[in-house]
Structure 1
Amino acid sequence: MPILLQVNNLSKSYSGQTVFSGLTFTVSSKQKIGVIGRNGAGKSTLFKILTAEETADAGQIMLGSETRIGYLKQEEIFEPTETTLDYLRRTSGRADWTIKKLAAKFQLNENELNNPAHNLSGGWRMRLKLTGMLLTEPNLFLLDEPTNYLDLNTLLLLENYLKSYPGSFLIISHDREFLKRTCSETLDISAGSCYHYPGNIEAYLAFKEQKLITLIRANESLDRQQKHMQEFVDRFCSKASKAKQAQALIRKINKMENKRITIEHRAGITRISIPPTIKRQNLALRTNDLAIGYNQQALAAEINLDCRAGEKIAILGLNGQGKTTLVRTLAGFLPSVAGSFHFSAGSKIAYHGQEIINALPDKEQVGTYLRRLASAEIKTEAVLKMAGDFLFRDEELKKSIGVLSGGEKSRLLLAGLLLSKPDIFILDEPTCHLDFETTEALGSALQKFNGTVLFASHDRTFTNLLATGLVEINHGRAKRRAESYEEYVSELTKQLTQDINEQNNINYKNIEAKDKYLEKKINQKKIKNLEKELEKLKNQEKQLIDYFYQNPNNYDLAKVKELEEIKKNIKQQEGEWFQLNI
């Protein structure tokens, strides 16, 4: 297969801290590669270097002669007055019918195409940006966390397209389910280097775990041998007859230490433990004709829900339907438009949302903050373990919160809330800045937690692991769904596939009708031109025939050949005229 991208010995550092060193890998035609690694491993930095947004400290990047790279940016600038269709015209330079044909695959119909681009929600913006990138016809594209903030419908549309995409791509994602369904190979960036595995994420993680077990067993075998030798040394080193042999064993023990394999932090066995709360009975939450929205304008109304103590409720729905609005209302950060809700008496609520993240105390140190939020009876060792589970270790604990990135602040808040021993968690996109090992560890911990969890998340693995009940917000109403989350996704996938096929059929019919109309117009123009040309040729023919009648004794060979050529052209163009009029 043709090589599209060759990366050789790529290195990058920031302020003396090595991000990665000696990265080497190749991407060939039709390879679909999922890029994984823990937060801070350098995945996004690699993409920025590949797209020339940043420069590497060392190494080479070579593109094939036919390589056309497409890069899906996290942020896109739209002109103030341009519609969605205007944006696609501007960025792709393609004809409207080509644009609409591809846009239909992402359910961007006439209504969406005529709306102002800057008014689109996150999910629709992702559809728009993806359509725009694909219209440039790249044969290798890079997607950096494309599933962040996507509703399930948009995620399934993207997944459906990528599975049938004929080119190559590299995708950074913490969504394990998404990678499993779209990528056939895995590039793991960890410990400053990378490993390219010829299998999907599930196969790679199984391989990695088996490799880790093998290394651990090798070290354990080394430990046993060293222990046996050390016992001999301890027993006989004081005896003159055995002293020489004991010294030889000491040297051997020291040499054996060189065979010990250094094993990096075993991310896959992260175990988050949430302190239990007081076990409560009956209802944790009840809403009565609750209406939610902004400025007294309801997004959803007549919400009547009962949530039993200990339930783990996933709040589902398209972007813009009110998931986050409901979460923020229940957390007390938005007033209700109408109706009421109440939690069980004495319940302690812990909320993870952007408002809290933005309000974290900038000057307080990470470790101090976690100790302050932790319940009084929680020991320091447990606080440090929780900090480590969310990647705050050693010097990281001494950092001021103000210097942390948005993702780090989100993780810090999660760690603090888990230590605070609440009765009810209310979580808005809690996994957005977590790698999938931590995401799954968090899901498992919350699933075992004896309290109640209300959450909105676009991560299918997390939701499937945690949810014991579903609430869907759609068309201004919220209702319980009886099926499991897995069944809900399956049903939605079938419906989306049907909708896409119907939309494509409509789109193709429109294109076919347009093509026929254009063909008819072109043929009419051709017929008109042929008729003019035939009239001109027949006049020339008549003039030559008249000349021969008037000059019967003047044989002009040139004029004879000219007359023959004119008759030949008349016959040919009459044939074309006849075909166009059938």
Structure 2
Amino acid sequence: MKVLLQVKGVEKRYGSFTVLHDATAAIGEGMKVGVMGRNGAGKSTLCRILTGEEEPDAGEVIRARDLRLGYLAQHDPWEPGEAVLPFLMRHTGLEEWVCGRAAARFALKGEVLEKAVDALPGGFRTRVKLAAMIAEDPDFLILDEPTNFLDLSTLLLLQEFLAGYRGGALVVSHDREFLKRTCDHTLEVEHGELTLFPGDLEAWFEEKEVRMELAARTNAAVAAKKAQLQDFINRFGAKATKATQAKSKAKEMARLHSIEIRHPLPTARIRIPPVEERKGNAFVLEDLAIGYPGRRVAAGIHFTIERGARIAVVGDNGQGKTTFLRTLAGDLAPLQGTVKRGHAVEVAVYAQHVYENLDPEDTVLSHLEKGAPFAQTRQDALDMAGCFLFSGEAVNKKVEVLSGGERARLCLAGLLLQAKPVLLLDEPTNHLDFATVEALGAALREFNGTVLCISHDRTFVSMMEAEILEVDGGRVRMRAGEYGDYVDDLERRVRASIGAAPDGEKKEKKGAADWAEAKRLRSERAKARNGLKKAEERMRALEAERDRLAAAVRDHPSDAGRYRVLHEREIDLRKAEEEWLAAQALVERLGEG
């Protein structure tokens, strides 16, 4: 196997802190390497050194001469107002059909290609970056936390692409399921060193446990043998007749070496303080519409959230998940309708980028003490800090020196210390390592309060054992079934969305003629989608009028005229639903191009 990237004896220091020490590994062509390690272990530093963004303080990185390296841009490389396809063509210098083919791999097709990139939801902007990365046909990709802030649809598209990609990749991610599905090698960054294992993440965990057990058994055998030899030396070393044998035993004992077993790194043990148990509802949502002045995001929201519920809020980026949580929190006023809270319902909110607002001069402990309720003691703050791996002198570290993962842990610790009965969490697992993600999921599962959580981490949501609330297409509704059913359904839809596009290496590449044919179909597809949109709008308007009339009938049960009008609207609504089904069928028949 040809070696594409080789790291030899690399060291990297920041001030007095050594991040990488004698780091050594060789990565061959076609290898897909999942990188794991704790927050601050040096994973991102390694990526920056491999791409040439940073230089090592010692050692070297050897790259194959013909290596075509691709990596995900951390900044936004498009110009204000620049549309998707023109950006891809300008950025890569490639022909329209080549850029269109790359975009199609991430379900960027049809009218989306003509929209301004900066007007697209966050998940779609990341898709544009991914398309720009692969359009130039790299043979090795370096992806540092590509799943952070992605919606699940985009994450599944990236997962599908990597699974069929013939080139190699080095992927840093704290999404355990994503690494399991995409990588065939594992690189652990720990204690500043690199350990490359020829197997996936789960196989590495098993292998590491076996190695620890073997080392412990070997050390026990070595200790027993040394004790036996030392006993012989003690008994016979002074006797002239046994002196030669005693010296031989001493040499034998000197040749015995135990295997160094490093103390395992501590893991988060999160315990959320229990809250007073009450019965009844946490929230009652009535005829709720959410959004911003001049822009309605979702409407027609009617349901109740009971106390003690655990709810995972799912849906694509830009559909309104964060807007919904902010409305429940009281941060945004409803555009219509009401959000009624149960008695003594108080909320604690974790926002996506909350760690960016920390005071850099605060220490871990002072931050926790500032945000803690009056009833909490310093020991309560210290105990919560310890739950999130801040113990000993670590509680005196200033915020300004904390890594992104450490800041996220600190924010979560402060949030849980508030002991509020309702937790509203928006992407709490971003920047957290495997162990902390799973500890948080387990703690939320045992929490006796109410939890609404936005997350695209499949392992985390599964551990929470939550109900599913889907925000999609202007609607917010509880979804029946298990979370796994939702993911399976979404995977089918994602595969269907790229079915007409080249499937990595399984289909022949399409040329300019194919691209022209695809372009010819756009107009017909756009008309079908427009018809579907109008049918949806008509159906929603009739639903709203039906609900208004039904309320009027309830208020005036003896008015026969109102019953008649309500019956007519129900007939209109059934016709509108039939029109919508026909429009939906036409869109599906024409495909998602």
Aligned to 1:23: 23
Q: 2:134 matched to 1:126?
A: no
Aligned to 2:466: 468
Aligned to 2:279: 281
CA 56–328 in structure 1, closer or farther in 2 if over 3 Å, else same: same
1:512 pairs with one of 511, 514, 527:
514
Q: Displacement of 1:91 after TM fit?
A: 2.0
Q: Displacement of 1:98 after TM fit?
A: 1.6
Q: Deviations over 1:540-582 (max 9, x none)?
A: xxxxxxxxxxxxxxxxxxxxxxxxxxxxxxxxxxxxxxxxxxx
Aligned to 1:265: 264
With normalisation by structure 2, the TM-score equals 0.77
Alignment check: 8 A CA contact 2:39 2:403 kept: no
Aligned to 2:297: 299
Moved more, 383-392 or 132-141: 383-392
Q: Displacement of 1:360 after TM fit?
A: 3.7
CA 376–103 in structure 1, closer or farther in 2 if over 3 Å, else same: same
Alignment check: 8 A CA contact 2:212 2:261 kept: no
Q: Displacement of 1:494 after TM fit?
A: 1.1
2:485 pairs with one of 460, 467, 487:
487
Alignment check: 8 A CA contact 1:316 1:456 kept: yes
Q: Displacement of 1:368 after TM fit?
A: 2.5
Q: Distance in 2 between matches of 1:487 and 1:210?
A: 34
Q: Deviations over 1:485-533 (max 9, x none)?
A: 111000111122122214569x96994384899xxxxxxxxxxxxxxxx
Aligned to 1:180: 180
Q: Deviations over 1:54-106 (max 9, x none)?
A: 11001111111321111112222212242211211122222111211221121
Moved more, 427-436 or 254-263: 254-263
Q: Distance in 1 between matches of 2:152 and 2:199?
A: 26
Moved more, 467-476 or 162-171: 467-476
Q: Displacement of 1:376 after TM fit?
A: 6.6
Aligned to 2:416: 418
Alignment check: 8 A CA contact 2:34 2:171 kept: yes
Q: Distance in 2 between matches of 1:255 and 1:437?
A: 40
Q: Displacement of 1:370 after TM fit?
A: 2.1
CA 27–504 in structure 1, closer or farther in 2 if over 3 Å, else same: closer
Alignment check: 8 A CA contact 1:222 1:260 kept: no
Aligned to 1:347: 345
Q: Distance in 2 between matches of 1:24 and 1:447?
A: 40
Aligned to 2:446: 448
Map 1:366-381 → 2, pairs under 5 A: 366-374=364-372
CA 511–289 in structure 1, closer or farther in 2 if over 3 Å, else same: farther
Alignment check: 8 A CA contact 2:421 2:450 kept: yes
CA 332–514 in structure 1, closer or farther in 2 if over 3 Å, else same: closer
Q: Distance in 2 between matches of 1:369 and 1:266?
A: 25
CA 26–361 in structure 1, closer or farther in 2 if over 3 Å, else same: closer
CA 144–355 in structure 1, closer or farther in 2 if over 3 Å, else same: closer
Q: 2:435 matched to 1:437?
A: yes
Q: Distance in 2 between matches of 1:303 and 1:117?
A: 30
Q: Deviations over 1:367-403 (max 9, x none)?
A: 1332454567767666435324434333331133355
Moved more, 21-30 or 383-392: 383-392
Aligned to 2:322: 324
Q: Distance in 1 between matches of 2:345 and 2:448?
A: 13
Aligned to 1:52: 52
**Identity of paired residues, percent?**
40
CA 5–516 in structure 1, closer or farther in 2 if over 3 Å, else same: closer
CA 220–335 in structure 1, closer or farther in 2 if over 3 Å, else same: farther
Q: Distance in 2 between matches of 1:194 and 1:105?
A: 33
Q: Secondary structure at the match of 2:105?
A: helix
CA 225–291 in structure 1, closer or farther in 2 if over 3 Å, else same: farther
Aligned to 1:338: 336
Q: Distance in 1 between matches of 2:220 and 2:344?
A: 51
Moved more, 159-168 or 415-424: 415-424
Give the number of aligned pairs.
Answer: 497
Aligned to 1:192: 192
Q: Displacement of 1:126 after TM fit?
A: 1.3
Q: Displacement of 1:221 after TM fit?
A: 8.1
CA 214–328 in structure 1, closer or farther in 2 if over 3 Å, else same: farther
Q: Secondary structure at the match of 2:393?
A: helix
Q: Distance in 1 between matches of 2:353 and 2:18?
A: 33
Alignment check: 8 A CA contact 1:285 1:341 kept: yes
Q: Distance in 2 between matches of 1:28 and 1:356?
A: 39
Letter in 1 for 2:264: H
Letter in 2 for 1:512: D
CA RMSD of aligned residues (A): 3.3
Q: Distance in 1 between matches of 2:517 and 2:269?
A: 60
Aligned to 2:537: none
Alignment check: 8 A CA contact 1:33 1:170 kept: yes
CA 387–210 in structure 1, closer or farther in 2 if over 3 Å, else same: farther
Larger Rg: 1
Map 1:37-186 → 2, pairs under 5 A: 37-186=37-186
Aligned to 1:531: none
CA 343–207 in structure 1, closer or farther in 2 if over 3 Å, else same: farther
Aligned to 1:212: 212
Structure 1 gap segments, 5+ residues each: 233-250, 518-582
Letter in 1 for 2:318: G
Alignment check: 8 A CA contact 1:270 1:389 kept: yes
CA 3–283 in structure 1, closer or farther in 2 if over 3 Å, else same: same
Q: Displacement of 1:217 after TM fit?
A: 6.1
With normalisation by structure 1, the TM-score equals 0.78
Q: Secondary structure at the match of 1:304?
A: strand
Moved more, 295-304 or 142-151: 295-304
CA 226–442 in structure 1, closer or farther in 2 if over 3 Å, else same: farther
Alignment check: 8 A CA contact 1:297 1:337 kept: no
Q: Secondary structure at the match of 2:345?
A: coil
Alignment check: 8 A CA contact 1:74 1:144 kept: no
Alignment check: 8 A CA contact 1:222 1:256 kept: no
Q: Secondary structure at the match of 1:106?
A: coil
Q: Distance in 1 between matches of 2:210 and 2:270?
A: 23
Moved more, 192-201 or 62-71: 62-71
CA 504–354 in structure 1, closer or farther in 2 if over 3 Å, else same: closer
